[in-house]
Chains A and B, each alone.
Chain A
Amino acid sequence: MITVENLTVRFSGSTAVDTVSFTVAQGESFGLVGESGSGKSTILRTMVGLNRHWSGRIIINGMDARTTRQRDLARTAQMVFQDPYGSLHPRYTIGQQIAEPMLINGIADPVGRTAELLDLIGLGAKFQFRFPHELSGGQRQRVAIARALSLSPRILLLDEPTSALDVSIQAEILNLLNRLRRELGLTFVIVSHDLAVISYMCERLMVMRNAREVETLTREQLRASDVRDDYSRQLLAAS
């Protein structure tokens, strides 16, 4: 479903991602873990085309990310951002924001589908006429998920989807995401610095440090503390 080969991203002098490779199978949930600045968010942003300057190969559902038009990519992979307070436009109602990607891509009946999506993520259609500032952080993150799902993508890239939320809301959002993955057959790539979140959500994970891959583990290895690298062990001990 997703193949990343030798991805390198440089920002004016510094290297944010250094020859990283991984693959994600269809329906799988893959985690990227590491301290802040280790380049995990940059990988996600590069995969959806928010970074221009990168080298290597990214194949998403058979499409080369470098040559595919943004619109074709949009129908396959969507992203949920870290900060729910910064990812919704303050001037538009919730319904308008969820409908916007459908309007851009000419999908039929955006209004009806917006109501369906709001029901799907557990807010209810009545929320579509609210403005973002009337919603809590958890509700906003649900809206951001609904917007990401509006084009019926098969892949969802989640950039620290719960780190801006308090603990009780975190669990709700994670359960919502797990339910959506089951019901819609989605493939996830989740970025987090929280090993607990990753081990709850992901079957496989990659530990990153200083823009490089440290090692790739399965959930079972993680739970059994079966790690080879010292850095992974530290990370595990810290959580």
Chain B
Amino acid sequence: MTLLTEPAADPKAAIRAARWKEFRSFARRFFRNPLGVVGLFIVLVLIFVAAFAPWIATHDPYMPTLTARLAAPSAEWWFGADELGRDIYSRLVHGSRLTLLIVALVIVTSAPLGLIIGAVAGTRGGWIDAVFMRITDVFLAIPKLLLALAFVAALGPGIVNAALAITLTAWPPYARLARAEAMVVRNSDYVNAVRLAGASEFRIIVFHVIPMCLSSVIVRMTFDMAGIILTAAGLGFIGLGAQPPLPEWGAMISTGRKFIFDQWWVATVPGIAIFTVSLGFNLLGDALRDLLDPHLRQRK
């Protein structure tokens, strides 16, 4: 409170304090939703595991131990060993890095791309809107996996190419979302007020329209992360994502498929990992939507 009564001292600190206060009230509302907390916990565990993978893993994820081929879960091999005798637990831990890498690559490329295209189209309207949205429609009309397949086939399999391929199919929904928000915001009085002050279209879009699109985009992003993980695993499963010997979860399921009746853990354990992480992102997304979605908020 002292910061609020002595403003002129350091405006930057005071604005930071005001933002921090906003964030705290947001966090308080978030923690009232137990499922959202579970989702956040799963995501944080995933990040933690990925960050400290070499210390958390018990074995070298690439080191075959021929005597332990297809070993059942035990004290030595916590989740068993695969067909080359590699520790599945350690491969899972290292695989979390690949999963996060793909998710991060796709999100940092597709969300800003869609956001900018949508915000510009929605704010400017007219022929810019028509051109941008028809391009978006074209991308939406192509089956997701097919486009990704064609892209990977052209550029060669691999993690970065898989991420690029997913990006190519992931940005159009962001553009639509941002455009819908921008069309509401562009005629609002607070945007008119800065327009009257002589603000450039660039300034209006970047500082006044995009911040209002962000919350729906963030919500969509968290939901999308689950889908991205599944698509990446799908590409890995059909052999177009991460290449052996990388411990990508989808690729691990693919190799375990051959032994699913006798050594079920080889395919099941990475499957459970994909399931858990996707669920975590979905729960987190649900909780965030309850807090951030402007349409849900207005109905209250």
Taking Cβ atoms with an 8 Å cutoff, the residues of A that contact B are 48-50, 69-71, 73-74, 78-79, 81-83, 86-91, 93, 95-97, 100-101, 104-105, 111, 115, 125-126, 128-131, 144, 147-148, 150-151
Q: How far is the CB of A200 from chain B (nearest CB, A)?
A: 24
CA distance A144 to B197 in the complex (A): 13
Which A residues are CB-close (under 8 A) to B243?
none
Given contacts A82-B189, A129-B14, 16 further A-B contacts (CB under 8 A): A70-B198, A74-B198, A78-B197, A79-B196, A83-B189, A89-B208, A91-B211, A100-B194, A101-B198, A111-B11, A129-B3, A129-B11, A129-B18, A130-B18, A147-B193, A150-B197
Taking Cβ atoms with an 8 Å cutoff, the residues of B that contact A are 3-5, 7-8, 11, 14-15, 17-18, 22, 188-199, 203, 208, 211-212
Are B199's CB and A104's CB within 8 A? Answer: yes
Which B residues are CB-close (under 8 A) to A95?
11, 15
Q: Lowest 6 A-B CB distances belong to which pairs? A: A101-B197, A71-B198, A87-B189, A81-B189, A89-B190, A74-B198
Are B8's CB and A125's CB within 8 A? Answer: yes
CA distance A61 to B212 in the complex (A): 36
Q: How far is the CB of B207 from chain A (nearest CB, A)?
A: 8
Are A48's CB and B196's CB within 8 A? Answer: yes
Which A residues are CB-close (under 8 A) to B208?
89
Q: How far is the CB of B255 from chain A (nearest CB, A)?
A: 49
Tell me which of B17, B194, B198, B199 contacts A129 (CB under 8 A): B17
Are A129's CB and B190's CB within 8 A? Answer: no
CA distance A118 to B287 in the complex (A): 38
Main secondary structure of the interface of B (DSSP, over half): helix
Which B residues are CB-close (under 8 A) to A78?
196-197
A150: nearest residue on chain B (CB-CB)? B197
Given contact pairs A88-B190, A91-B212, A95-B11, A49 touches B18 in the complex (Cβ within 8 A)? no
Are A131's CB and B18's CB within 8 A? Answer: yes
B22: nearest residue on chain A (CB-CB)? A131
Which B residues are CB-close (under 8 A) to A50?
192, 195-196
Are A49's CB and B196's CB within 8 A? Answer: yes
Q: How far is the CB of B298 from chain A (nearest CB, A)?
A: 12
Are B190's CB and A128's CB within 8 A? Answer: no
B6: nearest residue on chain A (CB-CB)? A126
Are A129's CB and B197's CB within 8 A? Answer: no
A132: nearest residue on chain B (CB-CB)? B190
Can you list 7 contacts pairing A with B, beta carbon distance less than 8 Å?
A: A70-B196, A70-B198, A100-B197, A115-B7, A126-B4, A147-B193, A151-B197
Which A residues are CB-close (under 8 A) to B7?
115, 125-126, 128-129
A147: nearest residue on chain B (CB-CB)? B193
Are A104's CB and B197's CB within 8 A? Answer: yes
Are B190's CB and A74's CB within 8 A? Answer: no
CA distance A104 to B194 in the complex (A): 9
Which A residues are CB-close (under 8 A) to B14?
128-129
Which B residues are CB-close (under 8 A) to A126?
4-5, 7
Which A residues are CB-close (under 8 A) to B5?
126
Are A81's CB and B192's CB within 8 A? Answer: yes
Q: How far is the CB of A30 from chain B (nearest CB, A)?
A: 19
Q: How far is the CB of B26 from chain A (nearest CB, A)?
A: 12
A50: nearest residue on chain B (CB-CB)? B192
CA distance A96 to B188 in the complex (A): 18
Which B residues are CB-close (under 8 A) to A81?
189, 192-193
CA distance A80 to B94 in the complex (A): 58
CA distance A50 to B192 in the complex (A): 7
Given contact pairs A74-B198, A104-B194, A129 touches B15 in the complex (Cβ within 8 A)? yes
Q: How far is the CB of B66 from chain A (nearest CB, A)?
A: 60
Which A residues are CB-close (under 8 A) to B193?
79, 81, 87, 144, 147-148
Are A93's CB and B18's CB within 8 A? Answer: yes
CA distance A85 to B190 in the complex (A): 9
CA distance A115 to B14 in the complex (A): 14
Q: How far is the CB of B70 from chain A (nearest CB, A)?
A: 56
Which B residues are CB-close (under 8 A) to A128?
7, 11, 14
Are B198's CB and A105's CB within 8 A? Answer: yes
Q: How far is the CB of A147 from chain B (nearest CB, A)?
A: 6
Which A residues are CB-close (under 8 A) to B212?
89-91
CA distance A48 to B189 in the complex (A): 13
CA distance A81 to B22 in the complex (A): 26
CA distance A90 to B208 in the complex (A): 10
Given contact pairs A86-B190, A87-B190, A129-B15, A105 touches B197 in the complex (Cβ within 8 A)? yes
Which B residues are CB-close (under 8 A) to A144?
193
Which B residues are CB-close (under 8 A) to A147?
193
Which B residues are CB-close (under 8 A) to A104?
194, 197-199, 203
Which A residues are CB-close (under 8 A) to B17?
129
A80: nearest residue on chain B (CB-CB)? B193
